[in-house]
Amino acid sequence: MRPKILPSIMAKNQKELDLDLQKLKGIVKELHLDVVDGKFAKNKAMDFDFKLKREFSYNVHLMVNHPETWIDKQGKKVNTIIFHPEVVDNIDELIKKIKQKKKKVGLALKPETKVKEIKDYLKSVDYVLILTVHPGFYGAKFLSAPLRKIKQIKKINPKIKVIVDGGMNPKTIQKAVKAGGDYFVSGSFVTKAENPREKIKSLMNSIKSK
């Protein structure tokens, strides 16, 4: 499977979101939305009733304390919903609920969350998102230790796709690919760059030269 670069968006308001969408138009077909509620992490992003453009497909990473509430209100706008098991009482139920809405589903793991905590759900989801930074902000320090989880996850479900999120640049992406990552989220390196197309190209070249 060809590796995929997913530019991430952490807009504070619709105006900022529209600018990011316009900037990425024609460069990629799939985007990664980071929703932060100010409680799960000390930041707020995409925490409003946003409007999206049809040119893209979207996956959303919910860094929120009550993902069920967000899914009921805004889930229909996106194609894939990724939530944190650390804040959900009944993970099985929420996976079922997302699938009933005809959405793909993923679990996101904070750097300190162990794979054994989600072992029972790995056959039921499409993706696992591995955070290689502490959540909530662009430009956080890259942590290589969480990459070890990828091998453990794929041992349980070889078909699952692993998304690596955080601190991606031409150097760190090589580590993420070597560890077995499939898709790679980049915010500050790609979305906030003056020329996102060039930045994506440099990441892809780095993957190929590994």
In DSSP notation, the chain reads ---EEEEEE--SSHHHHHHHHHHHTTT-SEEEEEEEESSSSS-EES-S-----TTSEEEEEEESS-HHHHHHHHGGG-SEEEE-GGG-S-HHHHHHHHHHTT-EEEEEE-TT--GGGTGGGTTT-SEEEEESS-TTSTTPPP-SGGGHHHHHHHHH-TT-EEEEESS--HHHHHHHHHTT--EEEEIIIIITSS-HHHHHHHHHHHHHT-
Q: Mind listing the pLDDT tens digit for each residue in 6-28?
A: 999 999 999 999 999 999 999 99
> For position 143, what pLDDT does the model report?
93
> Domains of the chain, with CATH numbers?
4-208 (3.20.20.70)
Q: Is the pLDDT of residue 136 over 80?
A: no
Average pLDDT of the residues of the chain: 95
**Mean pLDDT of the 169-197 span:** 95
pLDDT at 112 over 80: yes
User: Residue 134 has what pLDDT?
Assistant: 86
Residue 137 in this model has a pLDDT that exceeds 80: no
pTM: 0.95
**Average pLDDT estimate for 146-153:** 98
- How much is the pLDDT for 209? 77
